[in-house]
Amino acid sequence: MTDAPISRRALVAGAAGALGAHTLRRAGLAQAPALAAPPDPTKVPGQPTSALGQRSTFERPRRIPSASGQGVSLSPLQDFCGIVTPADLHFERHHAGVPTIDPHRYKLLVHGMVERPVVFDLETLKRFPAVSRLHFIECSGNGSAGYRETRPDLSPQLVDGLTSTSEWTGVPLATLFREAGVKPGAKWFLAEGEDAAVMTRSIPIEKAWDDALIAYGQNGEALRPEQGYPARLLLPGWEGNANVKWLRRIEVADRPFMTREETSKYTDPLADCTARMFSFVMDAKSIITFPAYPVTLPEKGWWEITGIAWSGRGRITRVDVSTDGGRRWAPAELEQPVLAKCHTRFRHLWNWDGTEATFSSRAVDQTGYVQPTLEQLRKARGLGTHYHFNHIRAWRVRRDGAVSFEPEG
Amino acid sequence: MRGALVVVVLGLLGGGCGRRETEAGPAGAPATFGLGRPATADEIKAWDIDVMADGTGLPPGSGSPAQGAVLYERKCAACHGKTGTEGPADRLVAREPRQGFPFGRDPTLVKTIGNYWPYATTLYDYINRAMPLNAPGSLAPDEVYSLVAFLLWRNDIIASTAVVNAQTLPRVLMPAHDRFVLDNRRGGPEIR
């Protein structure tokens, strides 16, 4: 920031004032709140205590479900601050609807290449030493709207709404595998769901010894049905589909099972006429969530560019922001905590001079991987690919303050 | 080819497994907690429905394309189209392109059983567990074998007279069976 010194607090106050002018343009705000605000809240008693809290009636963040009610429901990234996704706004992806599972009848079967085929009910899963960890889950198809045919009127939700971060609580899969006694020669396990798709994926057993969890908690309470109630597989940093929800069965084996979701789907045809399979890890990525379509900046001056960055390979070490179409990049501020395989919030102060500008973000992770440009990604993958769209996203602001999506920047 | 792929998979992902299979738990924790109850043979049998590429898991029974055609018309055509090409749900029949596997280059190509699926056994596993979408898990083994036979025949992979069962299905060679490679992304500076 090269302009005259300005205190951070003044800046925030100024921004808050300015925000008033354009807040109605933010998608998550209600136009007509159900509960009217009194002229002076200090002159009337407020609402009584309640058994279950509600959002302010002025706030109406919403997922965008697909028209059919099947398939996907996008999370409103532009409405969030910090890194945690409220559980009721976590993205959805399911192949045959959300099942209703009675926790009292729930059981998880572990069998195959184990010494002791074993069944755990929910209470037993909760009796094992538990861990709580913050991790993102991202659908591997996330970002497809920005890859081939893109439009300027895409919000962060429409571009990348299939990623969410939660605090997950559960038992390490390694604990259950020790309990069952995995036999020598075991290399893979099948994870199977109790939904109508009876979803199955083959997972290398190394992931179980590394950091896989059987999760039953999400942000301090039981999992939401849409996220796998009462228990799911959590594979930190790996594509959403492999994190099998409503988990009912694990079969240990010496080879992968070649299910439909790891052959027909979730494979990546490459420009060299092969197709990549078992491409589990979500590579480093970032997206600016403000300012972004459909926001209109009401005036030039100081604005905080902010967004999220994440990598399935570990921690984010840097996020660069460019406000001149990718010519010059400056490191953004990474907000603590910066955790492995978790959304990381970045912030970058920008003094907008009121002229047209393209701004973008570029994430770097602890392996030294740098989020690629659209051109780099298309060169490596070809145009026909359907998953792992992690190229740099950009936004363009016009002189009148209107912000639109740009596939490259 | 299946054998070759599996060997490569194991080579890449299995390094050091022998040591880690017996990996100790956290300090202070017992080796096992003695929690959970032994699974009964019956409950394993009831849930263990998966079918592997070598045919492991395929039940007794059999079916033919002709038998499958009747079932398809009744139970599948409404969503997948009269000939498996019309939709509205996933296209199930496409023989082209048979050559070149240009899916990475051409986003307009539709991936189907005939041009993209590497294993025929996957068809049994998937239809048995998930189709028809409105009544999953409702098909008897002979019905699944028949539908598999019908779809393989429609995709020009087996003859109209072929019989599909636990012995013949794993031997069906799919057009795309040698097109699949393992993930070679490793992080670091290279974009793959």
In what side-by-side order are the strands of the sheet with A330-331?
A330-331, A316-322, A357-365, A394-397, A403-406
User: What's the CATH code of the domain at A322?
Assistant: 2.60.40.650
Distances (CA, A) of A165 to A162, A253, A360, B106: 10, 31, 22, 34
Q: How far apart are CA A67 and CA A195, in angstroms?
A: 21
Q: What is the CATH number of the domain that holds A121?
A: 3.90.420.10
Query: What pLDDT was estimated at residue A33?
Result: 58
**Partner residue facing B179 (CB), from A186, A275, A382:** A275
Residues A339 and A199 in one domain: no
What pLDDT score was predicted for residue B10?
37
Give the A window 79-98 contacts with B, CB below 8 Å.
95-96
A194 and A300 share one domain: no
A164 is written with which tokens? 């969410």
Q: Where are the alpha helices (DSSP H) in A23-92?
A: none
Which pLDDT belongs to residue B2? 38
In tens, the pLDDT along A6-41 reads 333 333 333 333 333 334 345 555 556 567 899 999
- Sequence-distant (6+) residues with CB within 8 A of A102 are none
The complex scores an ipTM of 0.89
Query: Which residues on A lie below 8 Å from B46 (Cβ)?
Result: none
Quote the minimal CA–CA distance from A219 to chain B in Å. Answer: 25
In a domain, A117, yes or no: yes
Helix, strand, coil content of chain A in percent (nearest 5): 15, 35, 50
Across residues A233-243, what is the average pLDDT?
A: 98
Are residue A252 and residue A388 in the same domain, yes or no? Answer: no
Say which of A179, A264, A376 has its CB closest to residue B116. A264
Question: What's the pLDDT at B3?
Answer: 38
Overall domain count for chain A = 2
Predicted confidence at residue A28, as pLDDT, reads: 59
| Whether A305 and A256 share a structural domain | no
- Considering CB atoms only, which of A260, A277, A379 is closest to B182? A277
Same structural domain, A150 and A219: yes
Tell me the backbone φ, ψ of residue A201, rounded to 5 degrees. Answer: -140, 145
CATH number of residue B126's parent domain: 1.10.760.10
Q: A176 or A271: which carries more pLDDT confidence?
A: A176
**Triad A201, A207, A213: Cα angle to 5°:** 85
Q: What is the 3-state secondary structure (H, E, C) of chain B?
A: CHHHHHHHHHHHHCCCHHHHCCCCCCCCCCCCCCCCEECCHHHHHHHCCCCCCCCCCCCCCEECHHHHHHHHHHHCHHHHCCCCCCCCCCCCCCCCCCCCCHHHCCCCCCCCCCCCCCECHHHHHHHHHHCCCCCCCCCCHHHHHHHHHHHHHHCCCCCCCCCEECCCHHHCECCCCCCEEECCCCCCCCCC
Residue of A68, A264, A313 to mutate when probing chain B, most B C-beta within 10 A = A264
| pLDDT of A367 above 60 | yes
Examine residue B114 and state whether it is found in any structural domain, yes or no. yes
Contact between residue B170 and residue B1 where contact means Cβ atoms under 8 Å apart:
no
Are residue A115 and residue A254 in the same domain, yes or no? yes
From chain B, pick out residues whose CB is under 8 angstroms from the CB of A276: 180-184
- Please report whether residue A128 resides in a domain: yes
Q: Which residues of A touch B58 (CB under 8 A)?
A: none
Decide if B9 is inside a domain: no
Contact flag B191-A377 (C-beta cutoff 8 Å): yes
Judge whether B39 is closer than 8 Å to chain A, CB to CB: yes
Residues A185 and A329 in one domain: no
- Number of domains making up chain B: 1
Reported as a pLDDT band with limits 50, 70 and 90, residue A105 is very high
Q: Look at residue A408 and tell me whether its pLDDT is greater than 80.
A: no
How many CB pairs below 8 A link A and B? 219
Q: Is B153 part of a structural domain of the chain?
A: yes
Q: Which residues of A touch B38 (CB under 8 A)?
A: 116-119
Say if B6 falls within a structural domain. Answer: no
How confident is the prediction for chain A on average, in pLDDT? 92
Q: Flag whether A78 is in a domain.
A: no
Predicted local distance difference test score (pLDDT) of residue A121: 98
Residue A373 CA to residue A120 CA, distance in Å, equals 46
> Same domain for A245 and A309?
no
Distance from CA of B70 to the nearest CA of A (A): 24
Average pLDDT of the residues in A257-267: 98
Which residue ranges of chain B lie beneath pLDDT 70? 1-24
Would residue A198 be called left, alpha or beta, if left means φ above 0 and alpha means ψ between -120 and 50 degrees?
Answer: left
**Chain B positions in Cβ-Cβ contact with residue A207 (cut-off 8 Å):** none
Q: Does B178 touch chain A (CB under 8 A)?
A: no
- CA-to-CA distance for A192 and B109, rounded, in angstroms? 30
- Asked whether the beta carbons of A405 and A159 are under 8 A apart, the reply is yes
Cβ distance of B189 and A377 shorter than 8 Å: no
Which domain covers residue B104, as residue numbers? Answer: 49-176
Does B171 fall in a domain? Answer: yes
Structure tokens at A263: 């052959």
Residues A183, A262 within the same domain: yes
Residues of chain A in contact with residue B116, where contact means CB-CB under 8 angstroms, are 264, 275
Task: Tell whether A217 and A194 lie within a shared domain.
Answer: yes
Last residue of a domain, one of A245, A276, A307: A276
Q: Do B39 and A283 touch (CB under 8 A)?
A: no
Beta partners for B181?
A: A276
- pLDDT at position A34 is 66
Check whether residue A289 and residue A262 sit in a common domain.
Answer: no
**Torsion sign over Cα A392, A397, A403, A406:** negative
**CB < 8 Å to A277, chain B:** 180-183
- Measured in degrees and rounded to the nearest 5, phi and psi for residue A319 equal -130, 125
- Domain match, A243 and A145 both: yes
* B3 has a chain A CB within 8 A of its CB: no
pLDDT of the residue at A2: 33
Q: Does A283 have pLDDT greater than 60?
A: yes
B53 close to A (CB below 8 A): yes
Percent of chain A, pLDDT > 90?
86
Residue pair A247/A233 in contact (Cβ under 8 Å)? The answer is yes
Chain A interface disruption, residue of B9, B19, B191, B192, most A CBs within 10 A: B191
pLDDT of res. A19: 35
- Identify whether B96 is part of a domain: yes
Q: What's residue A68's pLDDT?
A: 77
* Residue B24 placed within a domain: no
Is there a domain that residue A230 lies in?
Answer: yes
Which residues form the domain of A150? 103-276
**CB < 8 Å to B122, chain A:** 258-260, 263-264
In a domain, B29, yes or no: no
Asked if the structure places residue A143 within a domain, the reply is yes
User: What residues 101-160 of chain B have any CB closer than 8 A to a CB of chain A?
Assistant: 101-107, 109, 111, 113, 116-119, 121-122, 125-126, 129-130, 133, 136-137
Give pLDDT tens digits for A316-334: 999 999 999 999 999 999 9
Contact at CB, B187 and A197, closer than 8 angstroms: no
In a domain, A47, yes or no: no
Residue A89 to residues A120, A133, A226, A362: CA-CA distances in angstroms?
A: 30, 19, 10, 26
